[in-house]
Chain A
Amino acid sequence: MRYESPATTKEAVALLSKEKGPAFVIAGGTDLLVRMKSGLVEPALLVDVKRIPAMTTIKVMQTGFRVGAAVSGAELGAHKALGKAWPGVVEATNLIGSDQIQGRCTMVGNLCNASPAADSVPALIAAGAKAAIVGKQGRRTAAVEKIITGPGSTSLAKGEVIEALTLPKSSRRTGDAYLRFTPRTEMDIAVVGVGISMTLERGIIKKARVCLGAVAPTPILVPAAADTIIGTKLDDAALAALAAACSDACDPIDDKRGTAAYRIRVAGVLARRVATIAFQRAGGAA
C-alpha cells in the first residue's frame, strides 16, 4: 500500500486518476481505517488530503461559507459564525462518533462514505449545501443531494475529489435543525435522521427543505414534506401533515438497527421536533 500526502488538490486528483488498484482519499479516516482494519478494503493507494490548504480551512464569503474537505468536526464546532448561521449542520456533524472521533472526522468524509444514515448529510441537504468537485477535466459544482447514489456509492467519477462544501448565506429569518434517533446517546448510528431548514417572512414559512436519513438507500430530500409547512405558522395541523408526509416518504428496510415500521413512525415524530426547533431558530413564534 502506498501513502501520499500532496500539497494541492490537482496533485491529489492526478494521483487518484493514475492509480490502477483500489485508491482512497483519506481525511479523518474514521470510516476508512475501520474498514481497512476489518479487512473490508485493501487500498493500493491512500491519498491524504490533510496537507492541502484549500481543504483545511473554513472561509467566510459574501455568498456564504466554504468548508474545506479536511476540516474536522471539532473545528466546525468551534467556528462561531458558521454555528450561528447553520446550527443544524454543525450539530449534525458534531453528532458523529465521540469526542475523539470529532477531532478527525469530516463532513465530506461523512458524505463520501455514502451511508444512508450519515448524520451531517440530511442537514447539509436541507441547508442547500453544494459540493465543489475537482477532477481531471477541471472543476464542477453539484448539490449535495446529487452526490450519494446508493449505500456506499457516489456520483463522483474516478479521480474526482470534493475539495469543499459551500453553504449559502443565512439570514436572521432562516433556521435549521437536525435530530437523529439512536438508542444510545452517542457512539451510535442513526436509526432515523431528519434535517430541516426554513426561511420565514412575517412569521410565515416562506421556504423550507426537508431531508430524511436512514429511511431509504440514500438520504432523501422530500419536497412534498416541505410543502406541508410552507405557508403555515407551523401550527399543529401543519406539524401533523409534515409528520405524515415524512412517514409517507420513507422507504426503509428492517435491519439490526431498527424495523421499517419503527423508522417510518419515528421519521414523523422527529420531523415535528426538528421543524419546531428550526422554526424557533428562524424567529418564528410558537
Chain B
Amino acid sequence: MPHDNSYTGQEFKVVGNRFARPDGVDKVTGRARYGADASAPGQLVARVLRSPHAHAKITKIDTAKAERLSGVKAVITSDDLPDLTGGDRGMADILENCMARGRALYDGHAVAAVAAVDEQTARKALKLIKVTYEVLPHVTDVDEAMKPEAPVIHDWVFTGGVNPQPTKPCNVANRTEMGHGDVDAGFAQADVVIERSYKTEQTHQGYIEPHACLASVNSDGSAEMWVTTQGPFSYRTVCASLLGMDLAKLKVTSSEIGGGFGGKTHVWAEPLALALSRKANRPVKLVMTRDEVFRATGPTASTSIDVKVGAKKNGEITAAELELRYQGGAFPGIWGMLGCMTGFACYDIANQRSVGWDVIVNRPKVAAYRAPSAPMAAYAVESIMDVVAEEIGMDPVDFRLKNVAKEGAQAPYGPIYGPIGIESALNAVKENPHMKVKLKKNQGRGVACGFWFNIGGQTCVDLNIGTDGSVNLAVGTVDVGGARSSMGMIAAEELGIDYEDVKVHVADTASLGHNDTTEGSRGTFSSGMATIFAARDAIEVLKERAAQMLDVPKESIQWENGTASATGAENSNLPTLTLKEIAAKSHNTGGPIAGHNEVTADGAGMGFAAHICDVEVDPETGLTKILKYTVVQDAGKAIHPDYVEGQFQGAAAQGIGWALNEEYVYGEDGRLQNPGFLDYRIPVCSDLPFIDTMILEIPNPNHPYGIRGVGETSIVPPLGAVGNAIANATGVRMNHAPMSPIRVLEALDRAGVSGDQVSAG
C-alpha cells in the first residue's frame, strides 16, 4: 500500500526532545570503531605510491625489486585493474583516478600499490618501485586552464553545452546556463548596475578521520569490505563494477565515520585495497595518511566568478547575471551546474542568467563538499548585494528583504517555490538581539543568506519488534549527523513507545536493499520518511495480532499511544493490549512482527539560512577575529534539536574556516605545498566564538513530519557574511577568499587605510 507523504501537522511526544546521543559515550571513550579499527587474521598493510609530478607521462613502472622484497605479498599497477567500464565515462574516470593509467594527472595521483606483512616492509617496497616519468606541462589555476594556450589535459574532452560543440579538445568540460526573463531588458530598467569579480581558493572537507578500509577477497570471488564511508551501497556499486564482481558478492559495512562532509561519497583507494587483497589472497588494510588525504581525495573546487546586479533606487533588483568558473580537478565535474542552481536562489529576480563552466586542471578530482558549489556562488552574490545596497543607500538586510524569494517565486533552475524560509530567516535576523550589540573601532557586522536544495532519493528500512517489545531499526543511511537518534525517535513516536525501547543500527549492504548515499542533506528526510512508513506497516501487523488475541475483526482494532484496543460498545469489556503484550504472544499469532519500507523519497524541502557575523580586523596585521556569530536556519521540523544546532554550528565553522584561512597552496611546480593540518589552517576552538543558533520550523509539505534537510545550508552564507563584516569594519571590500591576514592587509594597503606606522621609519 502506498503511503501518503503529506505533512499532517500531528502533535509530537518524542520528536523535538533532546535525548543523549546513542554514540556519544563510545566516541569519547575510544570504544567506537572507525574505518581503521577493524582487523582480520593474516591481514596485510597496503601503501600507495603516488606521483610527485603535477602532470607526467608514465613510461615505465618496474616493480620487480619490490616484489622480491621479503614480506611483500602483492604489488599492483593499473595493469591489475583492467578497464571493465564498457564505455561508461564517469566510471572510467573513477578507475583512472584510483590509479593512473599511463599518465599522472596531479601531484598525489596513485601510480602503484603494495600489500606487505607490515608497514615498514610496505614503505620499503614503495621505494623499490622504479617509475619512469616524462614530465608534461601542467596547469592548476582555473582561469589559466581556460586560456587557449593552456596545456590540454585530456584529448577526449570537448566542451559540452556549447552549440555547436567544439571540434578541438580543451580543458573546459562543460557549460551550463540557467535563468529566466530578459536580462538585457532588466539591466536597462536599473538605476544602478554593479559588476564585480571574485575568487575563492580550493578547500578540503577536513574530516579528522582519514580514509580507511579493510578489504578481504575470498578465493570464491566473494568479498567483504569494512570502510569509513557516507555511502556503503554506492561504494559497493562502484567497487564491484571496477573489479568485475556481482553486487551481491561484495558486502560493504560502514564503520563509524569521523566526518565526511561529501568527501566520503566517492571511492579513492578502496578499489586498490580490494585489488591487492584479490592478488595476495589475504585481507588488506589500507589507511591513508593525512598527506594522502589532502593530495589525493576530493577537495572542493577553486573558483573565479563574475557577477552583475542591476537595481532601481527603491531597491528592486531588475536583473542579475552570474558567470561561474569551477575547477573540478583532473576530471569533468558538475560544479558549474550546482553553482548556477544556487547562486541567486535566495532572491526573486525576474530577469536572471547564470552560466557555469566546469574546468579541468592538474589537481585532485573534486568531490562534494557540504552544499557543493553553493558557498562560492553565494560569496559573490552576497558580497555584491551589500555593494548594491550601499550604492543605493539602503540597509543591506532591508535590501535583501525587498528582493527575497517567497512561495510562488521561481528558482534559478526552474521550479516554483513552495513554502520556504528565507523571508522568515531575514526577519528573524533583523529582530535578533545580535543586531543591537554595539560595535567598537575596527569592528564590523555582516549579514548573508544561503540556499541548498536538499535531496531525497532511494531509501529502505527494516523495523523488527522483539518478543520483549523492544525494537530494532535497521537503516541504510550512514549516521553522519545524528541519524540513529533521530530515526529511533521517529520510530518511537509512530509506535507510541519510549525512545529507549528503540535501538537503531546502520545495516550493511547484504542486509538491506539499496540506499542512496548519505549526501545532499537527505538522511533524516528520506530515512525518516521510510521509518514512519515502516512503523505504520508494523502497526498494521500489531493490530492484526491484537485482533486475533481479542478475537475481534481487525477493523475494530484501533492503535493509540502504543496500545491496541477494540472499538465499539460490545467490546468495552475487552482488555487493551500494549505493544509489549502483543509482542510477547507473537509466536502464537503468526510469528515475528516487523515493518518494512522501500521508498524513493520525493519532495525534499529546500533549505534557507541567514547568518550574522561580527568581526574585528587588526589594521596593522590584517588579522580578522570572529567576535560573534549567529545562524538562523529553517529546519522544517527539528527532530532532535541538539543535532540540528550542531549541524548549523559545524557548517558555519567550516564556512568561517574557508572565509579566513583554509586554502590549497600550489607551488610553481604544481605540487601541493600544505598537505597537513599545520599549514592547511582549519579554525581551532579558540578561533571561534560560541556560534548562536536559531531554528525556524516552516514545515516541508512533502514530509509527514515536515522535515527539511539541515546539514549543508549553513556552510553557504559564511564567506559572504565574513566578507561583509570585514567591509563594514574597514571600509574595504574583499574579493578573494580566504580573506587571510595577508590578503586583508594588501587590500587595506591598496585602499590606503592600513594602520601602517612602519614606513614612518
Chain A residues with CB under 8 Å of B745's CB are: 262, 265
With an 8 Å Cβ cutoff, the count of chain A residues facing the other chain is: 30
Task: Determine whether A253 belongs to the interface, using a CB cutoff of 8 Å to chain B.
Answer: no
Return B447 CB to nearest CB of chain A, in Å: 24
- Separation of A241 and B759 alpha carbons in the complex (Å): 10
Chain B residues with CB under 8 Å of A259's CB are: 742
Indicate if the CB atoms of A184 and B683 lie closer than 8 Å.
yes
Given A245-B761, A256-B665, A269:B620 Cβ within 8 A: yes
Return B624 CB to nearest CB of chain A, in Å: 9
- Separation of A32 and B679 alpha carbons in the complex (Å): 18
Task: Determine whether B395 belongs to the interface, using a CB cutoff of 8 Å to chain A.
Answer: no
- Separation of A265 and B757 alpha carbons in the complex (Å): 10
Chain A residues with CB under 8 Å of B758's CB are: 240, 243-244, 247, 265, 268-269
Interface residues on B, range: 20 to 34
Can you name the residue of chain A whose Cβ is closest to the Cβ of B625? Answer: A185
Can you name the residue of chain B whose Cβ is closest to the Cβ of A185? Answer: B686
Task: Determine whether A95 belongs to the interface, using a CB cutoff of 8 Å to chain B.
Answer: no
Chain A residues with CB under 8 Å of B674's CB are: 256
Indicate if the CB atoms of A183 and B661 lie closer than 8 Å.
yes
Chain A residues with CB under 8 Å of B756's CB are: 265
Indicate if the CB atoms of A189 and B760 lie closer than 8 Å.
no
Task: Determine whether A112 belongs to the interface, using a CB cutoff of 8 Å to chain B.
Answer: no
Which residue of B123, B661, B673, B761 is within 8 Å of A184 (Cβ)?
Answer: B661
Indicate if the CB atoms of B289 and A38 lie closer than 8 Å.
yes
- Separation of A241 and B760 alpha carbons in the complex (Å): 8
Indicate if the CB atoms of A183 and B741 lie closer than 8 Å.
yes
- Separation of A272 and B759 alpha carbons in the complex (Å): 13
Return A245 CB to nearest CB of chain B, in Å: 7
Indicate if the CB atoms of A38 and B761 lie closer than 8 Å.
no
Task: Determine whether A138 belongs to the interface, using a CB cutoff of 8 Å to chain B.
Answer: no
One digit per residue, 1 when the CB lies within 8 angstroms of any chain B CB and 0 when it does not, for chain A 166-189 equals 000000000000000101111111
Task: Determine whether B684 belongs to the interface, using a CB cutoff of 8 Å to chain A.
Answer: yes
Can you name the residue of chain B whose Cβ is closest to the Cβ of A269? Answer: B620
Given A189-B678, A247-B758, A256-B665, A183:B686 Cβ within 8 A: no
- Summed over the interface, the residue pairs from A and B with CB atoms below 8 Å come to a total of 71
Chain B residues with CB under 8 Å of A242's CB are: 761
Can you name the residue of chain A whose Cβ is closest to the Cβ of B124? Answer: A42
Chain B residues with CB under 8 Å of A272's CB are: 757
Return B331 CB to nearest CB of chain A, in Å: 26
Return A64 CB to nearest CB of chain B, in Å: 33
Indicate if the CB atoms of B687 and A243 lie closer than 8 Å.
no
Return A224 CB to nearest CB of chain B, in Å: 12
Chain B residues with CB under 8 Å of A188's CB are: 678, 681
Indicate if the CB atoms of B761 and A268 lie closer than 8 Å.
yes
Indicate if the CB atoms of A256 and B661 lie closer than 8 Å.
no
Task: Determine whether A275 belongs to the interface, using a CB cutoff of 8 Å to chain B.
Answer: no
Chain A residues with CB under 8 Å of B741's CB are: 181, 183, 262
One digit per residue, 1 when the CB lies within 8 angstroms of any chain B CB and 0 when it does not, for chain A 215-257 equals 0000000000000000000000001111111010000000111
- Separation of A258 and B289 alpha carbons in the complex (Å): 25
Indicate if the CB atoms of A38 and B760 lie closer than 8 Å.
no
Indicate if the CB atoms of B760 and A244 lie closer than 8 Å.
yes
Given A240-B760, A243-B761, A269:B621 Cβ within 8 A: yes
One digit per residue, 1 when the CB lies within 8 angstroms of any chain B CB and 0 when it does not, for chain A 76-98 equals 00000000000000000000001
Task: Determine whether B740 belongs to the interface, using a CB cutoff of 8 Å to chain A.
Answer: yes
Task: Determine whether B195 belongs to the interface, using a CB cutoff of 8 Å to chain A.
Answer: no
Given A183-B660, A184-B681, A241:B761 Cβ within 8 A: yes
> What DSSP secondary structure best describes chain B's contact surface?
loop
- Separation of A184 and B620 alpha carbons in the complex (Å): 16
One digit per residue, 1 when the CB lies within 8 angstroms of any chain A CB and 0 when it does not, for chain B 655-678 equals 000001100010000000110011
Given A39-B123, A247-B761, A262:B684 Cβ within 8 A: no
Chain A residues with CB under 8 Å of B760's CB are: 240, 243-244
Chain A residues with CB under 8 Å of B184's CB are: none
Chain A residues with CB under 8 Å of B686's CB are: 185-186
Task: Determine whether B623 belongs to the interface, using a CB cutoff of 8 Å to chain A.
Answer: yes
Task: Determine whether B291 belongs to the interface, using a CB cutoff of 8 Å to chain A.
Answer: yes
- Separation of A256 and B673 alpha carbons in the complex (Å): 6
Return B680 CB to nearest CB of chain A, in Å: 9
Return A185 CB to nearest CB of chain B, in Å: 4
Task: Determine whether A282 belongs to the interface, using a CB cutoff of 8 Å to chain B.
Answer: no
Indicate if the CB atoms of B623 and A183 lie closer than 8 Å.
yes
Chain A residues with CB under 8 Å of B291's CB are: 38
One digit per residue, 1 when the CB lies within 8 angstroms of any chain A CB and 0 when it does not, for chain B 623-638 equals 1000000000000000
Chain A residues with CB under 8 Å of B665's CB are: 256
Return A180 CB to nearest CB of chain B, in Å: 11
Task: Determine whether A266 belongs to the interface, using a CB cutoff of 8 Å to chain B.
Answer: yes
Return B537 CB to nearest CB of chain A, in Å: 50
- Separation of A245 and B123 alpha carbons in the complex (Å): 49
CB proximity to A under 8 Å, residues B608-622: 620-621
Chain B residues with CB under 8 Å of A258's CB are: 742
- Separation of A38 and B675 alpha carbons in the complex (Å): 12
- Separation of A38 and B742 alpha carbons in the complex (Å): 29
Return A212 CB to nearest CB of chain B, in Å: 14
CB proximity to A under 8 Å, residues B30-45: none
Q: Pick from A39, A183, A255 the residue with the most CB of B within 10 Å.
A: A183
CB proximity to B under 8 Å, residues A25-40: 38-39
Chain A residues with CB under 8 Å of B740's CB are: 183
Which residue of B289, B623, B678, B757 is within 8 Å of A187 (Cβ)?
Answer: B678
- Separation of A186 and B620 alpha carbons in the complex (Å): 20
Can you name the residue of chain B whose Cβ is closest to the Cβ of A228? Answer: B761
CB proximity to A under 8 Å, residues B160-174: none
Return A188 CB to nearest CB of chain B, in Å: 7
Indicate if the CB atoms of B679 and A256 lie closer than 8 Å.
yes
Indicate if the CB atoms of B757 and A240 lie closer than 8 Å.
yes
CB proximity to A under 8 Å, residues B672-730: 673-674, 677-679, 681, 683-684, 686-687
Q: Pick from A186, A239, A265 the residue with the most CB of B within 10 Å.
A: A265
One digit per residue, 1 when the CB lies within 8 angstroms of any chain A CB and 0 when it does not, for chain B 255-298 equals 00000000000000000000000000000000001010000000
- Separation of A23 and B757 alpha carbons in the complex (Å): 48
Indicate if the CB atoms of B684 and A187 lie closer than 8 Å.
yes
- Separation of A240 and B620 alpha carbons in the complex (Å): 13
- Separation of A286 and B661 alpha carbons in the complex (Å): 35
- Separation of A186 and B678 alpha carbons in the complex (Å): 10
Chain A residues with CB under 8 Å of B679's CB are: 189, 256-257
- Separation of A38 and B676 alpha carbons in the complex (Å): 11
Return B212 CB to nearest CB of chain A, in Å: 16
Return A63 CB to nearest CB of chain B, in Å: 37
- Separation of A265 and B744 alpha carbons in the complex (Å): 13
Chain B residues with CB under 8 Å of A268's CB are: 757-758, 761
Can you name the residue of chain A whose Cβ is closest to the Cβ of B291? Answer: A38
Return B308 CB to nearest CB of chain A, in Å: 32
- Separation of A242 and B760 alpha carbons in the complex (Å): 11
Chain B residues with CB under 8 Å of A243's CB are: 757-758, 760-761
Return A73 CB to nearest CB of chain B, in Å: 17
Can you name the residue of chain A whose Cβ is closest to the Cβ of B665? Answer: A256
Chain B residues with CB under 8 Å of A39's CB are: 123
Chain B residues with CB under 8 Å of A98's CB are: 684
Chain B residues with CB under 8 Å of A181's CB are: 621, 623, 741
CB proximity to A under 8 Å, residues B547-581: none
Can you name the residue of chain B whose Cβ is closest to the Cβ of A268? Answer: B758
Q: Pick from B123, B678, B683 the residue with the most CB of A within 10 Å.
A: B678
- Separation of A216 and B274 alpha carbons in the complex (Å): 48
Indicate if the CB atoms of A185 and B742 lie closer than 8 Å.
no
Chain B residues with CB under 8 Å of A244's CB are: 758, 760-761
- Separation of A226 and B623 alpha carbons in the complex (Å): 27
Chain B residues with CB under 8 Å of A186's CB are: 684, 686
Provide 5 A-B residue pairs closer than 8 Å at the C-beta atoms, listed in order of the A residue. Answer: A186-B684, A189-B679, A243-B760, A256-B665, A269-B621
List 5 A-B pairs, minimum CB-CB distance, nearest first. A244-B761, A268-B758, A185-B686, A256-B673, A269-B620
Having A183-B681, A244-B760, one finds 15 other A-B pairs with CB under 8 Å, namely A38-B291, A39-B123, A181-B621, A185-B687, A187-B684, A188-B678, A240-B760, A241-B761, A243-B760, A243-B761, A244-B758, A247-B761, A255-B673, A256-B673, A262-B745
